[in-house]
Amino acid sequence: MTSLPYHGLRLLAVHAHPDDESSKGAATNAKYASLGARVLIATMTGGEAGDILNPALLQSPKASRDIAGLRREEMAAAAAALGADHVWVGHVDSGLPDGDFDNQTPPGCFYRVPDEVAMLPVVHIIRTFRPQVVTTYDELGGYPHPDHIKTHAVTMAALKAAADADSHPELGEPWQVQKVYYNQDLSAKKWITIHEKMTEAGLESPFADHLEDFKKRDNARRNWLSTRIACSEFFPARDRALLSHATQIDPEGGFFSASRKAARTYWPTEEFELAVDLTEREPLTPDVDFQEHDLFASVTFDDGRRVPAEGMLPDSPTGEDTPAEDTAHTESETPA
Protein backbone atom coordinates (compact mmCIF):
# COMPACT_ATOMS: atom_id res chain seq x y z
CA MET A 1 0.00 0.00 0.00
CA THR A 2 1.43 3.35 -1.06
CA SER A 3 1.43 6.00 1.66
CA LEU A 4 0.05 9.45 1.06
CA PRO A 5 2.61 11.75 -0.63
CA TYR A 6 3.06 14.12 2.31
CA HIS A 7 3.36 11.43 4.96
CA GLY A 8 6.37 12.33 7.13
CA LEU A 9 6.03 16.08 6.56
CA ARG A 10 4.88 18.40 9.34
CA LEU A 11 3.42 21.90 9.29
CA LEU A 12 2.99 24.13 12.34
CA ALA A 13 0.51 27.00 11.99
CA VAL A 14 0.88 29.59 14.76
CA HIS A 15 -2.12 31.85 15.39
CA ALA A 16 -3.15 34.48 17.90
CA HIS A 17 -6.75 33.52 18.75
CA PRO A 18 -9.21 30.70 18.23
CA ASP A 19 -10.89 31.41 14.84
CA ASP A 20 -7.73 32.87 13.22
CA GLU A 21 -6.75 29.39 12.05
CA SER A 22 -10.06 29.12 10.18
CA SER A 23 -9.76 32.40 8.28
CA LYS A 24 -6.05 32.34 7.44
CA GLY A 25 -4.54 29.38 5.58
CA ALA A 26 -7.29 27.00 6.65
CA ALA A 27 -7.96 25.34 3.30
CA THR A 28 -4.22 24.91 2.74
CA ASN A 29 -3.88 23.17 6.09
CA ALA A 30 -6.86 20.92 5.37
CA LYS A 31 -5.38 20.01 2.00
CA TYR A 32 -2.00 19.04 3.43
CA ALA A 33 -3.65 17.04 6.21
CA SER A 34 -5.67 15.12 3.61
CA LEU A 35 -2.46 14.33 1.72
CA GLY A 36 -0.74 12.80 4.74
CA ALA A 37 1.09 15.72 6.36
CA ARG A 38 0.70 16.28 10.08
CA VAL A 39 -0.72 19.74 10.70
CA LEU A 40 -0.55 21.26 14.17
CA ILE A 41 -2.32 24.51 15.02
CA ALA A 42 -0.83 26.41 17.96
CA THR A 43 -3.11 29.11 19.38
CA MET A 44 -1.32 31.74 21.45
CA THR A 45 -4.32 32.94 23.50
CA GLY A 46 -7.67 31.60 24.61
CA GLY A 47 -9.70 34.39 23.02
CA GLU A 48 -10.96 35.36 26.47
CA ALA A 49 -11.38 39.02 25.49
CA GLY A 50 -13.43 38.26 22.39
CA ASP A 51 -16.91 39.73 22.05
CA ILE A 52 -19.97 37.68 21.11
CA LEU A 53 -20.35 38.68 17.45
CA ASN A 54 -23.18 36.32 16.54
CA PRO A 55 -26.58 37.85 17.44
CA ALA A 56 -28.03 34.36 17.85
CA LEU A 57 -25.77 33.79 20.88
CA LEU A 58 -26.16 37.15 22.60
CA GLN A 59 -28.67 35.65 25.05
CA SER A 60 -26.80 32.38 25.50
CA PRO A 61 -26.11 31.78 29.22
CA LYS A 62 -23.04 29.73 28.39
CA ALA A 63 -21.60 32.39 26.09
CA SER A 64 -22.09 35.13 28.66
CA ARG A 65 -20.98 33.01 31.63
CA ASP A 66 -17.96 31.21 30.16
CA ILE A 67 -16.92 32.52 26.76
CA ALA A 68 -13.39 31.14 27.25
CA GLY A 69 -14.74 27.64 27.81
CA LEU A 70 -17.11 27.91 24.87
CA ARG A 71 -14.30 29.08 22.62
CA ARG A 72 -12.27 26.02 23.61
CA GLU A 73 -15.13 23.83 22.41
CA GLU A 74 -15.40 25.83 19.21
CA MET A 75 -11.67 25.47 18.60
CA ALA A 76 -11.82 21.69 18.99
CA ALA A 77 -14.61 21.50 16.41
CA ALA A 78 -12.70 23.76 14.00
CA ALA A 79 -9.51 21.70 14.24
CA ALA A 80 -11.49 18.53 13.58
CA ALA A 81 -13.09 20.12 10.49
CA LEU A 82 -9.59 20.84 9.12
CA GLY A 83 -8.14 17.43 10.03
CA ALA A 84 -5.52 19.16 12.19
CA ASP A 85 -4.16 18.68 15.68
CA HIS A 86 -4.28 21.59 18.10
CA VAL A 87 -2.40 22.94 21.13
CA TRP A 88 -3.04 25.95 23.35
CA VAL A 89 0.10 27.99 24.03
CA GLY A 90 -1.51 29.42 27.16
CA HIS A 91 -1.30 33.21 26.99
CA VAL A 92 -4.15 35.58 27.86
CA ASP A 93 -5.99 37.50 25.12
CA SER A 94 -4.91 41.16 25.08
CA GLY A 95 -8.13 42.54 23.63
CA LEU A 96 -8.14 45.29 21.02
CA PRO A 97 -7.66 48.74 22.56
CA ASP A 98 -8.46 51.89 20.63
CA GLY A 99 -5.13 53.53 21.35
CA ASP A 100 -1.57 52.77 22.35
CA PHE A 101 -1.11 49.02 22.81
CA ASP A 102 1.77 49.51 25.28
CA ASN A 103 -0.36 51.53 27.67
CA GLN A 104 -3.89 50.26 27.06
CA THR A 105 -3.55 46.48 27.01
CA PRO A 106 -4.20 44.93 30.46
CA PRO A 107 -1.39 43.77 32.76
CA GLY A 108 -0.53 40.10 32.35
CA CYS A 109 -1.95 39.79 28.86
CA PHE A 110 -0.02 38.22 25.98
CA TYR A 111 1.10 41.54 24.53
CA ARG A 112 2.71 42.53 27.85
CA VAL A 113 4.72 39.32 28.36
CA PRO A 114 8.39 39.76 27.32
CA ASP A 115 9.18 37.93 24.09
CA GLU A 116 11.91 35.85 25.74
CA VAL A 117 9.34 34.54 28.22
CA ALA A 118 6.36 34.30 25.88
CA MET A 119 8.39 32.21 23.41
CA LEU A 120 9.24 29.38 25.83
CA PRO A 121 6.17 27.20 25.25
CA VAL A 122 6.52 27.76 21.50
CA VAL A 123 10.14 26.60 21.62
CA HIS A 124 8.95 23.43 23.33
CA ILE A 125 6.21 22.92 20.73
CA ILE A 126 8.68 23.34 17.86
CA ARG A 127 11.21 20.94 19.38
CA THR A 128 8.55 18.37 20.17
CA PHE A 129 6.57 18.52 16.92
CA ARG A 130 9.64 19.17 14.71
CA PRO A 131 7.92 20.89 11.78
CA GLN A 132 9.70 21.38 8.48
CA VAL A 133 7.42 24.35 7.74
CA VAL A 134 5.93 27.02 10.01
CA THR A 135 3.29 29.60 9.08
CA THR A 136 2.52 32.73 11.10
CA TYR A 137 1.94 36.49 10.60
CA ASP A 138 4.18 39.23 9.26
CA GLU A 139 5.63 41.95 11.49
CA LEU A 140 2.45 44.04 11.20
CA GLY A 141 0.32 41.10 12.24
CA GLY A 142 -1.61 40.96 8.98
CA TYR A 143 -3.75 43.67 10.50
CA PRO A 144 -3.10 45.88 13.54
CA HIS A 145 -4.12 43.73 16.49
CA PRO A 146 -1.68 43.59 19.43
CA ASP A 147 -1.85 39.80 19.70
CA HIS A 148 -1.15 39.34 15.99
CA ILE A 149 1.86 41.63 16.11
CA LYS A 150 3.06 39.85 19.25
CA THR A 151 2.52 36.44 17.61
CA HIS A 152 4.96 37.39 14.87
CA ALA A 153 7.64 38.56 17.30
CA VAL A 154 7.28 35.57 19.62
CA THR A 155 7.17 33.01 16.83
CA MET A 156 10.30 34.36 15.15
CA ALA A 157 12.14 34.46 18.50
CA ALA A 158 11.04 30.89 19.23
CA LEU A 159 12.23 29.64 15.83
CA LYS A 160 15.70 31.05 16.48
CA ALA A 161 15.87 29.67 19.99
CA ALA A 162 14.52 26.24 19.00
CA ALA A 163 17.45 25.77 16.59
CA ASP A 164 20.07 26.79 19.15
CA ALA A 165 21.38 23.87 21.23
CA ASP A 166 22.56 26.27 23.93
CA SER A 167 19.15 27.95 24.32
CA HIS A 168 16.91 26.39 26.96
CA PRO A 169 18.07 22.77 26.61
CA GLU A 170 15.41 21.79 29.15
CA LEU A 171 12.78 22.40 26.44
CA GLY A 172 13.99 19.56 24.19
CA GLU A 173 16.49 18.70 21.51
CA PRO A 174 17.19 21.55 19.07
CA TRP A 175 15.22 21.64 15.84
CA GLN A 176 15.82 23.74 12.71
CA VAL A 177 12.70 24.67 10.77
CA GLN A 178 13.46 24.72 7.05
CA LYS A 179 10.87 27.23 5.81
CA VAL A 180 8.77 29.96 7.40
CA TYR A 181 5.82 31.69 5.74
CA TYR A 182 3.58 34.62 6.57
CA ASN A 183 -0.14 34.19 5.97
CA GLN A 184 -1.33 36.67 3.34
CA ASP A 185 -5.05 35.90 3.13
CA LEU A 186 -5.70 39.53 4.09
CA SER A 187 -3.50 41.00 1.35
CA ALA A 188 -4.78 44.22 -0.16
CA LYS A 189 -4.09 42.88 -3.64
CA LYS A 190 -6.50 39.99 -3.14
CA TRP A 191 -9.49 42.01 -1.97
CA ILE A 192 -8.92 44.94 -4.32
CA THR A 193 -8.71 42.48 -7.24
CA ILE A 194 -11.97 40.81 -6.19
CA HIS A 195 -13.62 44.24 -5.91
CA GLU A 196 -12.40 45.25 -9.37
CA LYS A 197 -13.56 41.98 -10.92
CA MET A 198 -17.02 42.34 -9.42
CA THR A 199 -17.26 45.94 -10.56
CA GLU A 200 -16.21 44.98 -14.09
CA ALA A 201 -18.94 42.33 -14.07
CA GLY A 202 -21.53 44.94 -13.10
CA LEU A 203 -21.99 43.46 -9.63
CA GLU A 204 -22.25 45.28 -6.33
CA SER A 205 -19.05 44.72 -4.39
CA PRO A 206 -19.20 44.12 -0.61
CA PHE A 207 -15.72 45.64 -0.40
CA ALA A 208 -16.50 49.13 -1.70
CA ASP A 209 -16.58 50.60 1.80
CA HIS A 210 -13.32 48.86 2.72
CA LEU A 211 -11.10 50.01 -0.15
CA GLU A 212 -9.42 52.79 1.82
CA ASP A 213 -8.54 50.36 4.58
CA PHE A 214 -7.10 47.92 2.05
CA LYS A 215 -5.05 50.69 0.46
CA LYS A 216 -3.73 51.79 3.86
CA ARG A 217 -2.61 48.23 4.53
CA ASP A 218 -0.90 48.12 1.14
CA ASN A 219 0.89 51.40 1.84
CA ALA A 220 1.96 50.24 5.30
CA ARG A 221 3.45 47.01 3.98
CA ARG A 222 3.66 45.76 0.41
CA ASN A 223 2.94 42.05 0.77
CA TRP A 224 4.81 39.55 -1.38
CA LEU A 225 2.46 36.79 -2.52
CA SER A 226 5.35 34.47 -3.25
CA THR A 227 3.39 31.27 -2.79
CA ARG A 228 -0.08 30.40 -4.00
CA ILE A 229 -1.84 27.21 -2.94
CA ALA A 230 -4.67 25.87 -5.09
CA CYS A 231 -7.07 24.58 -2.46
CA SER A 232 -10.61 25.44 -3.54
CA GLU A 233 -11.76 21.86 -2.96
CA PHE A 234 -11.14 22.50 0.74
CA PHE A 235 -13.03 25.79 0.95
CA PRO A 236 -16.10 23.94 2.31
CA ALA A 237 -13.91 22.50 5.08
CA ARG A 238 -12.57 25.93 6.03
CA ASP A 239 -16.13 27.31 6.02
CA ARG A 240 -17.18 24.54 8.41
CA ALA A 241 -14.18 25.34 10.58
CA LEU A 242 -14.94 29.05 10.64
CA LEU A 243 -18.61 28.49 11.38
CA SER A 244 -17.57 26.25 14.28
CA HIS A 245 -16.58 29.50 15.98
CA ALA A 246 -20.24 30.36 16.46
CA THR A 247 -19.57 33.15 18.98
CA GLN A 248 -17.47 34.99 16.39
CA ILE A 249 -19.31 34.42 13.12
CA ASP A 250 -22.86 35.32 12.16
CA PRO A 251 -23.65 32.87 9.32
CA GLU A 252 -26.42 35.19 8.17
CA GLY A 253 -24.19 38.24 8.25
CA GLY A 254 -24.14 40.11 4.97
CA PHE A 255 -20.41 40.71 4.90
CA PHE A 256 -19.60 37.09 5.71
CA SER A 257 -21.94 35.70 3.06
CA ALA A 258 -21.00 38.23 0.40
CA SER A 259 -17.24 37.95 0.90
CA ARG A 260 -17.41 34.15 0.88
CA LYS A 261 -19.32 34.13 -2.39
CA ALA A 262 -17.01 36.70 -3.99
CA ALA A 263 -13.83 34.88 -2.97
CA ARG A 264 -14.99 31.49 -4.21
CA THR A 265 -15.79 33.07 -7.58
CA TYR A 266 -12.76 35.28 -8.13
CA TRP A 267 -9.92 33.98 -5.95
CA PRO A 268 -9.87 30.18 -5.38
CA THR A 269 -6.43 30.05 -3.73
CA GLU A 270 -4.62 30.97 -0.53
CA GLU A 271 -1.41 32.98 -0.49
CA PHE A 272 1.69 33.05 1.66
CA GLU A 273 4.88 35.11 1.79
CA LEU A 274 8.14 33.22 2.02
CA ALA A 275 10.00 34.68 5.01
CA VAL A 276 12.74 32.10 5.69
CA ASP A 277 14.10 29.48 3.29
CA LEU A 278 16.93 27.26 4.48
CA THR A 279 16.56 24.67 1.73
CA GLU A 280 19.32 24.20 -0.83
CA ARG A 281 17.36 25.36 -3.87
CA GLU A 282 17.86 28.52 -5.90
CA PRO A 283 16.28 31.50 -4.11
CA LEU A 284 12.97 32.87 -5.33
CA THR A 285 12.99 36.22 -7.08
CA PRO A 286 12.03 38.89 -4.54
CA ASP A 287 8.65 40.64 -4.98
CA VAL A 288 7.54 38.44 -7.90
CA ASP A 289 4.18 36.93 -6.98
CA PHE A 290 2.97 33.35 -7.46
CA GLN A 291 6.38 31.72 -8.01
CA GLU A 292 5.74 28.78 -5.74
CA HIS A 293 2.79 26.39 -5.43
CA ASP A 294 3.74 24.15 -2.50
CA LEU A 295 4.84 25.20 1.00
CA PHE A 296 6.93 22.02 1.19
CA ALA A 297 8.79 22.60 -2.10
CA SER A 298 12.47 21.58 -1.68
CA VAL A 299 11.96 20.52 1.95
CA THR A 300 13.95 17.52 3.18
CA PHE A 301 12.16 14.59 4.84
CA ASP A 302 13.56 13.07 8.02
CA ASP A 303 14.95 10.17 5.97
CA GLY A 304 16.86 12.48 3.61
CA ARG A 305 14.45 12.45 0.68
CA ARG A 306 13.64 15.85 -0.79
CA VAL A 307 10.42 17.28 -2.11
CA PRO A 308 11.01 18.40 -5.73
CA ALA A 309 11.81 22.07 -6.19
CA GLU A 310 8.55 22.49 -8.10
CA GLY A 311 6.66 20.85 -5.23
CA MET A 312 4.12 18.06 -5.38
CA LEU A 313 0.94 20.12 -5.77
CA PRO A 314 -0.53 21.43 -9.04
CA ASP A 315 -0.25 25.20 -9.39
CA SER A 316 -3.97 25.69 -9.94
CA PRO A 317 -7.16 23.66 -9.36
CA THR A 318 -7.07 22.58 -13.02
CA GLY A 319 -3.31 22.01 -13.10
CA GLU A 320 -2.93 24.95 -15.49
CA ASP A 321 -0.96 28.08 -14.70
CA THR A 322 -3.97 30.39 -14.55
CA PRO A 323 -3.78 33.58 -12.46
CA ALA A 324 -5.73 33.11 -9.25
CA GLU A 325 -7.87 36.15 -9.78
CA ASP A 326 -9.02 34.86 -13.18
CA THR A 327 -10.38 31.48 -12.06
CA ALA A 328 -13.64 30.50 -10.41
CA HIS A 329 -14.29 27.68 -7.95
CA THR A 330 -16.15 26.99 -4.72
CA GLU A 331 -16.50 28.32 -1.17
CA SER A 332 -14.49 30.76 0.94
CA GLU A 333 -14.79 32.89 4.07
CA THR A 334 -14.67 36.36 5.51
CA PRO A 335 -11.41 38.29 4.99
CA ALA A 336 -11.31 39.68 8.50
Is 20 flagged in the annotation as binding?
yes
What length is written for the chain?
336
Per DSSP, the three-state class of 78 is helix
326 marked as part of a ligand binding site: no
The per-residue b/e assignment along 2-23, b for 16 or more CB within 10 angstroms, e otherwise, is eeeebeebbbbbbbbbbbbbbb
Distance of CA 148 to the CA centre of its chain: 11
Q: Are 194 and 263 a contacting pair, CB within 8 Å?
A: yes
User: C-alpha angle with apex 300: 297 to 303, nearest 5 degrees?
Assistant: 145
- In whole angstroms, give the CA distance from residue 5 to residue 173: 27
Closest by CA to 174, choosing from 189, 184, 161, is: 161
Residue positions in the annotated binding site for Zn(2+)? 17, 20, 148
Residue positions in the annotated binding site? 17, 20, 148
